[in-house]
Amino acid sequence: MASSPATVAVALPRPLLSRRARELVTGYLYLLPVAICLGGTIVFPILKAMHMSLYNHVLIKPHEYRFIGLGNYARLLHDETFWLTLWNSMVWVFGSVIFQFLGGFAAALLLHQSFRGRAFVRTVTLLPWIVPGVVVALVWEWLYQPNYGVINDLLLRLGWLSDRVAWLSDPALAMAAVVTTNVWRGVPFFAIMLLAGLQAIPDELYEAARVDGASVTERFWHITLPLVRPIIVVATATRIIWTFNYADLIFVMTSGGPANATQITSTYTLLMAYSNLDFGYAATLSVVLLVIMMVFTTLYLRVTRGIESAT
Amino acid sequence: MDTRWILTRRQLLQTMAASGALAAADLAWWEEPLVSPRRAWGATPVRFQFSVPEPKRTALVESLAQRFNQSQKDFEVKVEFVPQAQARQKLITGIAANNPPDCCQVWDNWVGEFEGMGAVDDLTARVKDWKYYSDVTPIAWQTVTVKGKILSFPWVVTNDGVYWRTDRATEYGVKPPKDDWTWDEFLAAARTFTKGDRNQYGFGMRGQGTWAVLYATEFMYANGAQALKDGKVAINSKEAAEGLDWYLDLFRKYKVCPPSVPTDGWRGIVEGFGRGVTNMYIHNSGSSEEQKDFVGVKNFATVPLPVGPAKKRVSFYFSETLTGFKNAKNREGAWRFMSWLMDDEPKFMYCKTLGLLPARKTLAERPEFAKDPAYQGFIKSFPFSIVSPYLAYAGWGGKLDSEGVPLFQQALVGKLTAREFLEKFADMLTKNMG
């Protein structure tokens, strides 16, 4: 009887990378396309802006292009208009976001109630958010037009005004006018976000509170507000950043005027880049804006996290 | 079932790929084969950038380009329409990126900036041999001459005059202004024209855009001021401050202007007059054709700017230029097209359609311009028209808009006095004399 040849186990060659390392590499390879996209569209422009901010880069003066280190940053410290725009930005951002939030929350609470035609009203509420910002700006510019605008006309007919008011041409009123427009546009954003939050709160909680004799105000403070707080935090932070960088509305309605009364840092950056063609200084303003936003977001999230843990 | 006529997935893809390749080849060869007429064999493209303040110009310029293309076989002009607000930045970024158009239409106050970048084609030698050289008014050549070099063709010229409502003047008993009227008469007319209860104002002052500062400067000059004296900025003089004060008071003190002034740009003043809100405004002849449609040919006229206390007045002269670039890919085509646009028919059509005055004397003398009441204020202003002093330095062009205008607005709304504004303004001009 012939014996069958013995099978000798051959050791497989040791792989170049361990299993764990291979898994890691595979994971990172999956991330690579996203990393390239983000790097090309976000990281590279930021680095490029930082690089540009260190140069005297005025397009109409190509012969004066040179490295000036922190020269643009020093210029910014002494630029009165920059400090004015920073203050204007604060008024613009917080004026807009606070009223957008209050209006949005009120709208969300109303839209959460059951009533006939609710779906229609919800759709209509969204309209200001759907309309492009430039169109909103043009429409409101006409509404505010002092000589033949609808707002002055209505107020005069109602007898609430004796003289025509230059809403966008009076430095004392111009910022309030553009903030009002921005509030009108931003209320639906908060309304929809908060409505989604309200719909996620289980009805049982309200029923239990009602059984325990909690009033409407108590139910709002102890159930509604704590449970929608995460949404409030995210929505407000997002909106503050957007509004800080949002230049379309002011650019179309007032171009930052009159007399810089509505000039915010982002419109000032546009002015420096595309009117003065001073790309070095415009890049400096962008970098400073980025830093301010990063500091603000970090602080905001830290503070609100503190509130979260306290509750 | 006969499957011979069913397209397989592979066949479909192959057909699509072949169609795409054919279309791409056709596009590369003919450029926009379905839209534009096929150009003549060997015609080289000429890129012409035109800034578009109104739809009427788009149709007019497109039609001029087509006429040029049909008139010869060597070049084919492609018009690149750019909104007025973006025209300057687009040209400058094009120059910086070494990809300017072959030629463009721009205001003369930008040409100095382009020259500062070393980008503009020097046309001096060629222009002096050009057939209409001596027919163009010397002051028009002056608007396009930088450091002794002629850099552009002055396509059309503009100077400023006062538009006023003749029908309202009759209604309110305002005497028609004489050609040498004074500031006092101007103010008296503006006051009579102001009817708050009817939402009507005497004067539509401009508060936004470069020309807001230029119109104010014309009043300063009428009071004996000068922007430059012995090579130094002198716009902060006593005469300038007094002249500016008087001008600003039309809005601040006498309230003969609408409340929208601080944000009223070109469209604001033209539409304010057209809609009957204002009864006078200062502008060049460029809005005369528009006003014929708005208020009617018989209901308005133009008159020169009023004479100031110094028994002086000026009207700033500007030109809309045709400018070519050193790094253009088709410099010869650019020259041919620009010089063709300066010919009798195209130039006449452009000027007459838009209400602008031709820079060539023989055309300006035609009855369509010389006899039209809407142009009289401008034609009569020629004797005291001067080239804008703000063309003196290339660095002033953009700064006038980005820094000069916000400062002017501050003076307008009372945040700065006329003197404070002029000190800051003079400082800004001095810093940018490079």
pLDDT at A175: 96
CB contact under 8 A, A260 and B412: no
Average of per-residue pLDDT across A227-252: 91
pLDDT at B16: 66
Average pLDDT, chain A: 90
Q: With beta carbons less than 8 A apart as the criterion, state whether B208 and A255 touch.
A: yes
CB contact under 8 A, A147 and B412: no
Residues of chain B positioned with their CB less than 8 A from the CB of A256: 406
CB contact under 8 A, A277 and B92: yes
Q: With beta carbons less than 8 A apart as the criterion, state whether B273 and B291 touch.
A: yes
Q: Is the pLDDT of residue B23 over 60?
A: no
Q: Is the pLDDT of residue B189 over 90?
A: yes
pLDDT at B29: 33
Q: Where are the beta strands (DSSP E) in A172-293?
A: none
**Residue with the two structure tokens 């149709």:** B59
CATH class of B44-159+318-373: alpha beta
**B41 φ, ψ to 5°?**
-60, 130
Residue in B with minimal Cα distance to A270: B402
pLDDT at A48: 96
pLDDT at B77: 95
pLDDT at B28: 38
Q: Is the pLDDT of residue B130 over 60?
A: yes
Q: With beta carbons less than 8 A apart as the criterion, state whether A49 and A283 touch.
A: yes
pLDDT at B12: 64
Q: Which residues contact B407 (CB under 8 A, 6 or more apart)?
A: B416, B421, B424, B425, B428
User: How far from the centroid of its chain's Cα atoms is residue B202's Cα?
Assistant: 25
Element (H, E) at B158: strand B152-158
Residues of chain B positioned with their CB less than 8 A from the CB of A267: none
Give A185-207 pLDDT, tens digit per residue.
Answer: 999 999 999 999 999 999 899 99
Residues of chain B positioned with their CB less than 8 A from the CB of A255: 208, 263
Give A250-282 pLDDT, tens digit per residue.
Answer: 999 998 989 899 999 999 999 899 888 899 999
pLDDT at A172: 92
CB contact under 8 A, B412 and A271: no
* Domains by residue range for chain A, with CATH: 20-67 (no CATH), 74-310 (1.10.3720.10)
Q: Do B161-316+389-431 and B44-159+318-373 have the same topology in CATH?
A: yes
DSSP B325-386: BTT-S-HHHHHHHHHHHTSHHHHHHHHHHHT-EESBHHHHTSHHHHS-HHHHHHHTTGGGEE
Give B269-299 pLDDT, tens digit per residue.
Answer: 999 999 999 999 999 998 998 899 999 999 9
Q: Is the pLDDT of residue B32 over 60?
A: no
Residue B33: pLDDT band (50, 70, 90) is very low
Q: Is the pLDDT of residue B245 over 50?
A: yes
Distance, in Å, from the CA atom of B237 to the CA atom of A194, rounded to the nearest integer, reads 60
Q: Which residues contact A100 (CB under 8 A, 6 or more apart)?
A: A182, A183, A186, A187, A189, A190, A239
CB contact under 8 A, A275 and B401: yes
pLDDT at B292: 92
pLDDT at A190: 95
Within 10 A of B41 (CB to CB), how many other CB atoms are there?
Answer: 6
**B282 φ, ψ to 5°?**
-105, 130
Measured CA distances, B303 to A257, B94, B138, B278, B290 (Å) = 31, 40, 23, 16, 17
Average pLDDT, chain B: 88
The pairing of strands B315-324 and B385-387 is parallel
pLDDT at B109: 82
The pairing of strands B149-150 and B145-146 is antiparallel
Q: Is the pLDDT of residue B382 over 80?
A: yes
Average of per-residue pLDDT across A174-181: 96
Q: With beta carbons less than 8 A apart as the criterion, state whether A259 and B413 touch.
A: yes
Distance, in Å, from the CA atom of B281 to the CA atom of B272, rounded to the nearest integer, reads 9
CB contact under 8 A, A260 and B399: no
Residue A306: pLDDT band (50, 70, 90) is low
Within 10 A of A184 (CB to CB), how many other CB atoms are there?
Answer: 17
Give B225-237 pLDDT, tens digit per residue.
Answer: 999 999 899 999 9
Distance, in Å, from the CA atom of A301 to the CA atom of A308, rounded to the nearest integer, reads 10
Residue in A with minimal Cα distance to B408: A259
Instruction: Give me the residue spans of the domains in chain B.
Output: 44-159+318-373, 161-316+389-431
| Angstroms from A255 CA to nearest CA on chain B | 9
**Closest among A43, B410, A250 to B423, alpha carbons compared:** B410
pLDDT at A75: 95
Burial label for A65, CB within 10 Å (0-12, 13-18, 19+), is: middle
Give A119-167 pLDDT, tens digit per residue.
Answer: 898 888 889 999 999 999 999 999 999 888 999 999 999 999 888 899 9
Give B161-316+389-431's CATH code, choosing from 3.40.190.10, 3.90.950.10, 3.40.30.10, 3.90.1200.10: 3.40.190.10
Residue in A with minimal Cα distance to B273: A147
Residue B7: pLDDT band (50, 70, 90) is low
Residues of chain B positioned with their CB less than 8 A from the CB of A263: 406
Residues of chain A positioned with their CB less than 8 A from the CB of B99: none
Average of per-residue pLDDT across A167-196: 94
**Residue with the two structure tokens 């502008």:** B283
Mutate to test the interface with A, among B263, B403, B410 (most CBs of A within 10 A): B263
pLDDT at B299: 95
Answer yes or no: is the ipTM higher than 0.90.
no
Q: With beta carbons less than 8 A apart as the criterion, state whether B374 and B93 touch.
A: no
**What is the residue type of B127?**
V
pLDDT at B35: 42
The pairing of strands B315-324 and B232-233 is unpaired
The pair of three-digit structure tokens given for residue B55, joined into one six-digit string: 């739809």
